[in-house]
Copies of this chain bind each other. A is one copy, B any other.
Amino acid sequence: MQKLFEYNWQVRKDWFDWCETVDPEELMKKRTGGLGYILPTLYHIVAVEYGWICGGLQGQEINIPSFDQVACLHDVKAFSERCHEEIAQFVYDWNDALEDKMMIDITDDGERAAHAYGEVMRHVIAHEIHHVGQLSIWSREIGKKPVNANLIGRGLFHI
């Protein structure tokens, strides 16, 4: 489980670095599909990971700022770093005994939904990779090479 989170965190850092090389206007230009904008997509990735893991699985009171409150690259990066500090230990402490533990989620419609912890963790992993795939298309639209998405070759597995 941890390796896929580490992959996502590496790739996310690479996308933040990529953002530094792009005209800030491009990061907030309306695009087709997904969240429709590059920087709000990165904010959304962070907020979803933080919401599910810190609020959902760790059961802590959380305060997720609106995008307007973190509306520049610097602040989204800081938001990502703050959230990372709050969830990283939980991810590194993950073990198989947690797989079937259940959490109750209150949906936007006010309904109660039960999820296995293992399901939530994988949802968060897939969620980030999916949105990063969208960023890669928008990157080409603005004439930039996207971040390398390969998991192999990132040094995540020490041989």
Contacts and interface: CB of A to CB of B under 8 A. Distances in A.
A119 to B, nearest CB: 4
A25 to B, nearest CB: 19
Contacts of A125: 4
Interface in A29-82: 32-34
A85 to B, nearest CB: 24
Contacts of A119: 3, 151-152, 156-157
Interface stretch (A15-23, A86-94, A127-135): A127-135
A76 B67 CA distance: 41
Q: How many copies does the complex hold?
A: 2
Nearest to A149: B130
A3 B34 contact: no
Given A102-B159, A122-B4, A126-B4, A33 B137 contact: yes
A116 B159 contact: yes
Contacts of A33: 136-141, 146
A97 interface: no
Contacts of A7: 122, 126
Interface of A: 3-4, 7, 32-34, 102, 114-116, 118-120, 122-123, 125-127, 129-134, 136-141, 146, 149-152, 156-157, 159
